[in-house]
Amino acid sequence: MKGLEDLIADASVFAGLEPRRLALIAGCAGNAHIRAGTMLFQEGQPADRFFLIRHGAIALEVHSPGTGSHVIETLGEGEVVGWSWLFKPYRWQFDARAIQPARLVAFDGACLRAKCDADHELGYQLMQRFASAMLERLQATRLQLLDIYGDARTPA
Amino acid sequence: MHAPQLELSRPGRGPMVPAPFEVVAKRRDTVDTWTLELEPRSGELLRFAPGQFTMLSAGGAGEVPISISGDPGRPERLVHTVRAVGLATRAICDADPGRVLGVRGPFGTPWPVEEVRGLDVVVAAGGIGLAPLRPALIELLSRRGEYGRLVLLYGGRAPDQLLYGDQLRDWAERGFEVLVTVDGAGPEWLGHVGVVTRLVKRAELDWTTAAAMLCGPEVMLRFMVTALLDQGVSSGRIYASMERNMQCGIGHCGHCQLGPTLVCRDGPVYRWSELERWLAIREL
């Protein structure tokens, strides 16, 4: 059975970090489980953690009065859930719900921010990785916004 | 181009003369998309290769290029999945069993199902782009043992706009790894939500020796190709079906020019390495 440091080292978002820095990150982490249908976090709540999905799937949702919840993205194995712990005011912008039973690594956001403040190289390395993941998600979201299937210019 | 030009017309009938085909079955796939099954009035079978299209017409509503979406092994039935978006396609979708439509073709280059034998194959479709790929999927599965891993990446706008729901399950049972995503959904949808290019990292195959067949909106094709190249797929092994304003279907009128090629004659299926320089030029 893999320890937390191994699980973290295997995640693409932490790939290439030195073992001593992986150990620092693991010091802020713990295992978590969530049942299908359970909310992982909700919009407006304090964003004090983020998650690495080991198994299962998490849906990011936004709730609209009158029309209910709308799924805007699903995340799966090896992906990170949550950026709001990184930036003030540290509040979730969306809901997150498990659509399958999920095993996660949960990270304490305040703990990791404190370690990044004390070790700027760790902070820089993490920011590089998170920025890259966020850029990938931003670009995918832009494509979603294009609604490319709405206008049939594909072969009929 | 990557494949030899196929015979443009059936003997005894000029390529510009439509043959009468009768609608014998019709199924609604989504709110605006229908699948029609046609049989030739003459009894003369329309044999085709996966990826080819016909010019389809309904009375005086005009003629449009529609990819064939049926089983190449069953030429007795010509199958088209059509989205009603204009005058001609609406008239075609309105045709009930018993109605006669005009058919010219088949035209165009096929998917390279022979060339990719022995390789892992990823098939990526967006929206109604799954319809032109369906004959290739059927062909690949009919000779399952001749290929490596088979992966279908399929993206749609919403769950109720996905095509061929039952067949997606059937293809998954018969050897395709089927990954489906939609751009948006309600909480009752337990599948993937996100743009189709995000599925690439979820597929498990040997990318460096894999081949890819793509069909969908052109912007999706560009981003899908980028995602595939990032994984290590060679641009010479990526094939895409293109759409331009095809009118004659036989390379005479020039309306569907793309760079030095004519999509109706040299396409619609192109090898990406032959295509990318022309797609980099806007409004070409």
Mutation target for A interface from B36, B82, B154, B190: give the one with most A CBs within 10 A: B190
Q: Do residues B59 and B133 share a domain? A: no
Q: Compute the nearest-CA separation of B105 from chain A (Å).
A: 15
Q: What are phi and psi of B33, to 5 degrees?
A: -130, 135
Structure confidence at residue A151 (pLDDT): 52
Q: Compute the nearest-CA separation of B118 from chain A (Å).
A: 28
- Estimate to the nearest angstrom the gap between the alpha carbon of B185 and the chain centroid: 25
Burial annotation B200-217 (CB, 10 A radius, 16+ → b, else e): bebbebebeebbbbbbbb
Nearest CA to B69 out of B42, B106, B41, B100 is that of B106
Q: Please tell me which of the candidates A72, A97, A149 has its beta carbon nearest to residue B126.
A: A149
Binning pLDDT at 50, 70 and 90, where does residue A156 land? very low
Q: Do B194 and A144 touch (CB under 8 A)?
A: yes
Which residues of chain B are under the pLDDT cut of 50? 1, 3-9
Q: Tell me the count of A-B CB pairs closer than 8 A.
A: 103
Nearest CA to A148 out of B195, B268, B131, B32 is that of B195
Whether B172 is covered by a domain: the verdict is yes
Residue A81 has pLDDT above 90, yes or no: yes
Query: What distance in Å separates the CA atoms of residue A39 and residue A59, rounded to the nearest whole number?
Result: 9
Q: Do residues B83 and B160 share a domain? A: no
Q: Do residues B175 and B85 share a domain? A: no
Domain that holds residue A16: 4-145
Nearest CA to B213 out of B203, B232, B193, B228 is that of B228
pLDDT in tens, A17-62: 999 999 999 999 999 999 999 999 999 999 999 999 999 999 999 9
Nearest CA to A81 out of A53, A100, A110, A62 is that of A53
What is the percent of chain B with per-residue pLDDT over 70, rounded to a whole number?
96
Which one of B85, B107, B129 terminates a domain? B107
Domain that holds residue B188: 121-241
Residue B219: closest CA among chain A residues belongs to which residue? A148
Please give the tally of structural domains in chain A: 1
- pTM assigned to the model: 0.90
Which one of B78, B107, B136 terminates a domain? B107
Which CATH number does the domain housing residue B215 bear? 3.40.50.80
Q: Compute the nearest-CA separation of A82 from chain B (Å).
A: 16
Q: Do residues B81 and B125 share a domain? A: no
Neighboring chain B residues of A70 at a CB cutoff of 8 Å: 184-187
Please give the tally of structural domains in chain B: 2
Structure confidence at residue A1 (pLDDT): 67
Neighboring chain B residues of A53 at a CB cutoff of 8 Å: none
Q: Do B219 and A71 touch (CB under 8 A)?
A: no
Residue A68: closest CA among chain B residues belongs to which residue? B186
Q: Do residues B78 and B175 share a domain? A: no
Whether A53 is covered by a domain: the verdict is yes
Query: What distance in Å separates the CA atoms of residue B93 and residue B35, rounded to the nearest whole number?
Result: 8
Which one of B107, B141, B158 terminates a domain? B107
State the DSSP string of chain B.
--SPPPP-S-TTS-TTSPEEEEEEEEEEEETTEEEEEEEETT-------TT-EEEEE-TTS-EEEEEB-S-TT-TTSEEEEEE--SHHHHHHHHPPTT-EEEEEEEESBPP-TTTTTTS-EEEEEEGGGHHHHHHHHHHHHHTGGGSS-EEEEEEESSGGG-S-HHHHHHHHHTTEEEEEEES-B-TT--SEES-GGGGGGG--S-GGG-EEEEES-HHHHHHHHHHHHHHT--GGGEEEE-----SSSSSSS-TTEETTEEHHHH-BEEEHHHHHHHHTSTT-
Neighboring chain A residues of B220 at a CB cutoff of 8 Å: 143, 148
Whether A21 is covered by a domain: the verdict is yes
Q: Do residues B136 and B205 share a domain? A: yes
Q: Please tell me which of the candidates B194, B217, B268 has its beta carbon nearest to residue A73.
A: B194
Q: The complex's ipTM?
A: 0.86
- Stretch A69-82: mean pLDDT: 95
Whether A19 is covered by a domain: the verdict is yes
Which CATH number does the domain housing residue A87 bear? 2.60.120.10
- How many residues in chain B? 284
pLDDT in tens, A94-103: 999 999 999 9
